Amino acid sequence: MEKIENFNISKKTLIAMDNFSKLLSSEDAKSRKIRITPNWLEVKIAGMVGFYDCSKEDNSGFQEFVIAESKKFLDLIAKIGLKEAQFKEPFSYLKNGDTKVKFHTSPLSAIKPIDKKIIDSFDQADYLVKPFELDLNELETFFNNSVNLMGYKHIKFETKNNGLKIIGYDKDNIDNGFYEESLNVKVENKLDFSIAEEHLGKLIKSNYRVHIKEKIIRLENLDYEGLNYYIAKDN
């Protein structure tokens, strides 16, 4: 078992791990796993993938492993820090001075790696509309009114009169009204794209660039380079 000294996890990587852990909070306990590699982190939940390219970060000593108890792992790092690490299935070790922690790691096969074709496809320009930006203030205003106040469970991006709207509604109860805001985006193509509120609501509060294809939407975090979320169309 290889011993890694001067082990380090960057602040941005920890923030991404913490967010991915929160994304998993509503999943079945057996599904709460994060794949951690020297160059990226990934997490999968129903209808959504979180992917963080951390290749530019100082993550000294990272090896590829899958962890189920990500919240406990993060809490341990916060409390004891990390100076050394040893990785081996089914258990790995963290050490700082005389403090040593043994924790369970899952087989790499526990999470099927993300299909890189999905990621690479967003380098191609076959978008339904030109990519646009959603700033933090717009997102927070929308969520406060549509989700927190009105309780709507679904979100739709829809074109109306060459403008783009973000709409909160209930797919299973269309008689329950809707909440609509205009985005400062001009579009030429017709768009009607819905996602579940629970997916968008768990993202890191930040500014995003939105890329929409036929069946999937990519939210590119503009404040944390390399952090992206891929969400399937709701229907």
Q: How sure is the predictor about 5, in pLDDT bands with cuts at 50, 70 and 90?
A: low
Among 31, 189, 186, residue whose Cα is nearest residue 110: 31
What the chain holds in terms of domains, given with CATH numbers, is: 3-114 (3.10.150.10), 132-206+222-232 (no CATH)
Give the best-scoring range by mean pLDDT among 10-14, 87-91, 105-109, 223-227. Answer: 223-227
Q: Which residues pair with 35 in a beta bridge?
A: 42, 66
Higher pLDDT pick, 147 / 96: 147
- Exposed / middle / buried, residue 102 (Cβ in 10 Å: 0-12, 13-18, 19+): exposed
Contact (CB, 8 A) for 176 and 167: no
Task: Find the range with the poorest average confidence among 10-19, 58-67, 149-158.
Answer: 58-67
Quick check: helix, strand or coil at residue 134? strand
DSSP 156-185: EEEEETTEEEEEEE-TT-GGG-EEEEEEEE
